[in-house]
Homo-oligomer: A and B are copies of this chain.
Amino acid sequence: MSELLGVAVLGAGHMGADHIRRLDRVVSGARVVAVADPDPERARRAVAGIDGVAVRAEVWDALAAPGVEAVLIASPGPAHEEALLAAFERGLPVLCEKPMVPDPAGALRVVEAEARLGRRLAQIGFMRRYDAEYRQLKSLLDEGGLGRPLMLHCVHRNVSSPPGFTSAMLIDSSVSHEIDAARWLLGQELTAVTVLRPRPSAGAPEGLLDPQFVLFETDGGALVDVEVFVNCGFGYQVRCEAVCETGSARIGEEQAVRVTARAADRRAVPQDYLVRFADAYDREVQAWVDATRRGRVTGPSAWDGYAASVVAGAGVRALETGGRVAVDLPRRPALYG
């Protein structure tokens, strides 16, 4: 193949700018042909040095720019629904950053719109599915050599939370990654959620319930527990242990140079998810470009995005009520069989 896939990127903020760089310099087979951002100055900075990119303020104008064959949505979550529906209307394949649509009702509208089309157009940006370690863990579980998975023990830690981060966001922003990862690793739906609230850390901003300990039950009888701690202070850590009937498998000990000095043996801990998951993002976008150039849609679906929204919503209610909240998921449309 030689023709490069023309991509419109929606959103030129932190994540969008990183995806523009990735499409231009890392990924093979694509080029950025249009960018939409309400702040045209920011959009221009993000595409500096790339020739022939249409810079637009509006989503629709960017999608209509010459050469647009696919869309990468990296705008804030609340803007996703409109952008996805617009892409569907033009029949454009789309890679949409998570959360697909923060509001479960809106997420359902996206699923229904795609189901009406009768073919998949959307891939949702759950990049952990493209991380080398997660993929090895998934393979191990699928091969079945360790027996049925009984429990997943997960840890999700950030150095510190950004301003405005709320107690609910520990679940619907941070834990949403584990929600998708657990559904994918286990091949099971999550059916109930309970949130425990230890006394908050002194390192957490006033009023933020941090850390939290989240428990999911699944329709296969497995248990998923997640420690989420977004002001741990020391690093970005994502770990997962799958406890199976005849063995356990663990991922998430970041590889790094091992330094022995000053009375200790040390390995650096990454400070940022863009560092920890750099390769996963690269593989995710490359896989999307490759599939799209072949006319295919693979990877996490709009249904996965919707399910994550519903489970996260139940999690937030569990946090608020202190009790166990059942997850109520409608029947999965045939398209996502």
Contact = CB atoms under 8 A, between A and B. Distances in A.
Given A2-B50, A26-B28, A147-B201, A259 B247 contact: yes
A213 interface: yes
B247 A262 contact: yes
A248 B261 contact: yes
How big is chain A's contact interface, by range?
35 or more
Copies held by the complex: 4
A185 to B, nearest CB: 12
26 contacts: A1-B51, A26-B286, A28-B28, A136-B256, A146-B261, A150-B198, A151-B198, A151-B213, A153-B227, A196-B223, A198-B222, A199-B222, A203-B245, A211-B243, A225-B225, A232-B248, A233-B245, A233-B246, A233-B247, A234-B248, A235-B263, A237-B260, A246-B261, A249-B259, A250-B257, A253-B255
Interface of A: 1-2, 4, 24-29, 31, 49-52, 133, 136-137, 140, 145-148, 150-151, 153, 155, 196, 198-199, 201-203, 211, 213, 215, 217, 220-223, 225, 227, 229, 232-235, 237, 243, 245-251, 253-269, 271, 279, 286, 290
